[in-house]
Structure formats: structure tokens, C-alpha cells
Amino acid sequence: MARVGLREWLALAPVIASGRLARYNGAEGGPLARFEAAFSNQFGVKHTLTTSNGTGALIAALVAAGIGPGDEVLVPAYTWIATAAAPLAVGAVPVIVDIDATLTISPNDILRKITPNTKAIIPVHMANKVCEMDTIMGIARKHRLLVIEDACQAVGVSYKGRRVGTIGDLGAFSFNQFKNISIGEGGAVVTNNDEYFARARMYHDVGAVFRGHLDNANMPLIPGVNLKASQIQGAMLNVQLKKLDPMIGRMRRRYDIMSSILLKSRHLQIGPHNDLPNAAGMHVLFDTPDEAVAFAREHKRGVQRIYDSSRHIFSFWQPILQQSVVHPRMNPYDWAAREIEYEPNMCAASLDILKRTCRISLGENYPMPLMRYLTRRMVGPAATDIGHLVPNTSYRNS
Ligand SMILES: *Cc1c(COP(=O)(O)O)cnc(C)c1O
């Protein structure tokens, strides 16, 4: 994540001095509008709508796309619970799909989980690792499904030259404390579709259409909830957006250097990636869970076995697995066209992969020599001997 510091602090001063902290309070051309224009431009997408957080962005995207009761939405077994909770918030049900060794949703399992009730897929780009979007978009087109990308954990990362989040029908981003753009809480919806954008805007501002959410388009009105971001968030976002691409560049360089070191190892297997030339997230796979546990124990700094360190696995989503709902008569599972069942031992392939996988931090905010040293230690004594073969001079200052 990009560091928060003096620049963000300085950017807040004029906003506070202006007294215009709310989105629609005489500040229409303020920091939020500037951020949305800059983000759209940088990401190559027509519309950006800032929201209070990433979960709200996902829900607004689902509403915009017209997903609702009776619909099944495919979500991966490895993601933050918000991805699975969002369909429930609009009356649809999540159907949980296996991941593959890339740690992202398995296109093969998508094909197995599609039913006549499936309406949308939410591919999640986990920990800066990108989904196999070409295959997923092909499946979606063939089966007439919408694709809503959850790019909350991969803000700014690219798949084959396009920013993730801008490839599907809609994309959702999070800017919370732990994400690539880090402002505490925040999010955004992006789309190239004018109608989806108008619906997301109406929904995110309680249907207060007098604020021009329709841009004079003749569209059915909808009420909504309040998911608006503040100008305080906007001011921080503008600063953080400038830090994004340099930070992704540091991740990319560290990925290349660290993987060139890890490739010398006989016992470490670098996890596959759906777009290697753009890789900005790293994991290693072992043959057995025990080996992964031992590796994580030995290399604490920046290494975590995913199964031990993450609440991002479906088996931890208690409210979802229990199918509990906010009100007994607002029960999406009653509205579903078939019985939906979740079992703790479903998606066994995902659990198996996550138990054998360690995530390796690219240490984008740490000096390259430290990351090189830590990576060589992972490979063991042999790596020290071949260390001089690893190119380093061109990266000295990054
Ligand atoms: C963080 C996250 C969200 C939700 O974002 P918030 O801003 O915390 O609401 C959704 N999906 C994934 C994969 C996330 O990591």
C-alpha cells in the first residue's frame, strides 16, 4: 500500500479551510470530481464514481447492473467476505466457486457452477494477482452473464495492458487502509456504460436525482442508500493516486528480481500468474501443507501461509455459511430458484491449494537490497553463491 504522510496532510488543509466537506455542498467541482476525472483518465474508463468504501462500490455495481432476487452470482472461494455479502444485499445469492493455483477464480469451476439462474460473475483479483480475464469474459459472453470485477485488492494492476476493474461490465475498487490506494475508508465503481453509471449514482445518493445524477437521460428513477464519499476522502485520494503507478512499478521490479532469485531454488515453486509480464503479487506453492507451514515459520518477515494468516477463505465466512439474513422475510435464499447449500468441506480444491501456499510480500516500501537479502535466505545457501548473477545495478535507486 502507498504510504500516507505529509502530502495527504497538506492536501486536507485547503478543504478544511473551505468548509466544503460534503460531496454536494457547493463543492461540485471539488477534490472528488477532480479525482474521478483523473482516475477515469489514468485507468482508461468512461465513468468513475467514488463511494464510501469498496463494499458499497460492489453493492452499487450490482444494483446498477440490475442483479436481484432469483439471481445467482458466482464468487470465488478465496476473497474478502464482502464479495459474497454484496449479492445478498441486493436480494441475490452467492454461489461459491473454486480457485486454481493462481489463487483466483477457476474458469473450469465457473463452467461447472453456471445454472439457468446465474446472472453474474464477480472475479476477484486477489492480493494484486489478476484473474484469467480473457477466458472469463469469453464464458460470460457465451452464457450471457454480466462480469463485475472486484479489483479491491489490485487497484492499478494491469492484465494484458488493461487495468483490472475496467475489463468487465463494471468494476469495484476499495481504498481502505490496507489497499494499494490507502485512505482509511473509500471505494469506487467504474464502468463504460452510461445507464449503469446513472443507476449507480442514483443508488449511491438515496435517489436524490435533482443533483443531476441522470445527466438529463430519460431513465426510470430508483431510490437508494447513502454511499457518498466526502471531499476529505477526495483530497487524500488525489495525493494517493499520484503515488499509485510508481508503487506498482516498485512491485513489478521486486517481482522480477525476487522471482529470478527464487527460480534458482530446487524446492520452491513460484505460483502461476495469469499475466506474468505484469505480475505485481507473489506466492509460492508446496507439495504438502506441512512444507508450507515450515517455510512460513522459518521466514516470518513478509511470508505467510495463506490458510493461517487470512480471513479471506469461505470457510471463515460464518454468516454466509449459516445463510443468516437481516430479516426473516427478506431472505434471498427463499427467492432463489433452487435450494442453495453451503458445506464447510465444499471447494476442497481451494482449501488444498490455500493450505499449501505461502504469500510473499514484495516489500514495495522497503529497500530493494533488504528484499533481495530476504529472498536469498528463502532459497538457502546455494543462492548466496549465485547472487552475483542476479542483475542489480539498474534497480539500485528504486
Ligand atoms: C477490501 C475488500 C473489499 C471491500 O472493501 P471495503 O472498502 O473494506 O468495504 C471487497 N473485496 C475485496 C476482495 C477486498 O479485499
Q: Please check whether residue 173 lies inside any domain of the structure.
A: yes
For residue 126, the ligand 1 atom closest to its alpha carbon is 13
Q: Which one, of 264, 307, 303, 301, lies nearest residue 282 by Cα?
A: 303
For residue 86, the ligand 1 atom closest to its alpha carbon is 10
Q: Please check whether residue 370 lies inside any domain of the structure.
A: no
Range of the structural domain that residue 92 is part of? 6-240
Q: According to the model, what pLDDT value does residue 382 have?
A: 54
Q: Please check whether residue 23 lies inside any domain of the structure.
A: yes
Q: Please check whether residue 326 lies inside any domain of the structure.
A: no
Q: According to the model, what pLDDT value does residue 383 have?
A: 47
Would the CB of 55 count as within 6 Å of ligand 1?
yes
| Cβ atoms of residues 147 and 136 within 8 Å | yes
Would the CB of 82 count as within 6 Å of ligand 1?
yes
For residue 53, the ligand 1 atom closest to its alpha carbon is 7
Ligand 1: distance of its center to the CA of 192 in Å?
22
Whats the size of the chain, residue-wise? 398
For residue 79, the ligand 1 atom closest to its alpha carbon is 13
Q: Please check whether residue 228 lies inside any domain of the structure.
A: yes
Q: Please check whether residue 255 lies inside any domain of the structure.
A: no
Q: According to the model, what pLDDT value does residue 396 have?
A: 39
Give per-residue burial for 213-237: e unless 16+ CB within 10 Å, then b: bbeeeeeeeeebbebbbbbbbbbbb
Q: 388: pLDDT confidence band, cut at 50, 70 and 90?
A: very low
Task: Give the model confidence (pLDDT) of 335-387 as tens digits.
Answer: 999 999 999 889 999 999 999 999 999 999 999 999 999 999 999 865 444 44
Catalytic residue from among 113, 129, 179, 228: 179
Q: Please check whether residue 74 lies inside any domain of the structure.
A: yes
Using N-to-C axis directions, what is the helix angle for 368-379 and 231-262, rounded to 10°?
Answer: 40
Task: Give the model confidence (pLDDT) of 158-197 as tens digits.
Answer: 999 999 999 999 999 999 999 999 999 999 999 999 999 9
Task: Give the model confidence (pLDDT) of 8-58 as tens digits.
Answer: 999 999 999 999 999 997 767 899 999 999 999 999 999 999 999 999 999
Ligand 1: distance of its center to the CA of 55 in Å?
6
Q: According to the model, what pLDDT value does residue 265 have?
A: 87
Q: What is the CATH number of the domain that holds 193?
A: 3.40.640.10
Would the CB of 227 count as within 6 Å of ligand 1?
no
Q: Please check whether residue 33 lies inside any domain of the structure.
A: yes
| Cβ atoms of residues 80 and 174 within 8 Å | no
Q: Give ∠ CA 284-285-289 in degrees, rounded to 5.
A: 125
Ligand 1: distance of its center to the CA of 235 in Å?
21
Any catalytic annotation for residue 46? Answer: no
Task: Give the model confidence (pLDDT) of 65-113 as tens digits.
Answer: 999 999 999 999 999 999 999 999 999 999 999 999 999 999 999 999 9
Query: Structural domain tally of the chain?
Result: 1
Would the CB of 53 count as within 6 Å of ligand 1?
yes
